[in-house]
A = this chain, B = another copy of it.
Amino acid sequence: MSYGGYGGGFAPPGGGNRAPPPGADPQLWSWFNTVDTDRSGAITATELERALINGDWTPFDLDTVKLLMSIFDTDRSGTIGFNEFSGLWKYIKDWQNVFKHFDRDHSGSIDGQELRDALAQFGYNLSPPLLDLVQKKYANQTVGHGAPVPGISFDRFVRACVVVKQLSEAFGKIDTDRDGWIQINYDQFMHTVLSLP
């Protein structure tokens, strides 16, 4: 085997020679250990951002990384262990398939029409002005002083979908009679919005 975690041979960069848990993907274990430089067994959002550079996708925005952390850091420790990392990795891989499916023109980014189709498939039929707002909010901003990247890149597509889902669920929890209208006071409004990651 090419991965030498078991006491000999090739040591992955920064990974040392800790044995991976039974059934662990050796490459994933190696990546996890590469970013977990202090060998604490847990990685932070900033470290996760570094780990995600190893995937078959464009780099992840720290905001997206934090959103993912908030989903997988179930004990709210601020860090995720290897098992959570594995779950998160699979989650991202699944999203990658979704992204490829909806990126019909294979441009590597999602345009307004493709976003509408994706959200509709997930059961969110947003009004055209709302779709426009989501599209603008998550479209890639100018990076450095280069030209803006058109459309929504992979990581921001994940974020857009997750945010729409979380907001819709928050609304749905209050809209108990399912008529599409809610009556809330200031305190409830603030609670609802501030409780989102």
Contact = CB atoms under 8 A, between A and B. Distances in A.
Interface in A67-122: 77-79
Interface residues of A, number: 43
Contacts of A79: 142, 145
B193 A167 contact: yes
A194 B144 contact: no
B38 A145 contact: yes
A186 B180 contact: yes
B195 A171 contact: no
Contacts of A130: 187, 190-191, 194
A162 interface: no
Contacts of A191: 129-130, 133
Contact of A137 (B78, B148, B194): B194
A41 B63 CA distance: 26
Given A130-B187, A133-B191, 19 more contacts: A42-B145, A62-B62, A77-B142, A79-B142, A79-B145, A126-B187, A126-B190, A130-B190, A130-B191, A133-B195, A164-B190, A167-B190, A167-B194, A168-B190, A171-B186, A171-B189, A180-B185, A180-B186, A193-B193
